[in-house]
Amino acid sequence: MNFLVIYYSLSGKTKLVAEKISELLNCETEQIIDLKNRKGFLGFLVAGYDALKKKTTDIKQITKNLDFYENIVLCFPVWASNVPPAIRTFLNNFKEKIKNISFVATMGFHANESMFKEINKIINKRPKFTISITKKDLKTKKYLDKIKEIKKFYEKD
Ligand SMILES: Cc1cc2nc3c(=O)[nH]c(=O)nc-3n(C[C@H](O)[C@H](O)[C@H](O)COP(=O)(O)O)c2cc1C
Domains, the chain, in order of start with CATH, read 3-155 (3.40.50.360)
1 C-alpha to ligand 1 centroid (Å): 32
124 C-alpha to ligand 1 centroid (Å): 24
Give dist(CA 47, CA 136) in Å, integer. Answer: 23
Sign of the Cα pseudo-torsion (152, 119, 58, 35, in order) = negative
- Counting ligand 1 atoms within 8 A of each CB, the residue from 78, 83, 103, 139 with the most, and so the one to mutate, is 78
Tens digit of pLDDT for each residue in 119-148?
Answer: 999 999 999 999 999 999 999 999 999 999
- At 21 the three-state DSSP class reads helix
Tens digit of pLDDT for each residue in 55-102?
Answer: 999 999 999 999 999 999 999 999 999 999 999 999 999 999 999 999
Q: Which residue's alpha carbon is at the smallest distance from atom 16 of ligand 1?
A: 107
19 C-alpha to ligand 1 centroid (Å): 18
Query: Is 156's pLDDT higher than 80?
Result: no
Q: Which residue's alpha carbon is at the smallest distance from atom 30 of ligand 1?
A: 79
Candidates 119, 68, 69, 129; CA nearest to 90 is 119
- At 39 the three-state DSSP class reads coil
- At 70 the three-state DSSP class reads coil
Which atom of ligand 1 is least distant from the CA of 107? Answer: 17
| Chain-centre distance for alpha carbon 132 | 10
Kindly list the distances between the CA atom of residue 73 and the CA atoms of 41, 48, 52, 95, 130, in Å, as whole numbers in the listed order: 30, 24, 23, 13, 9
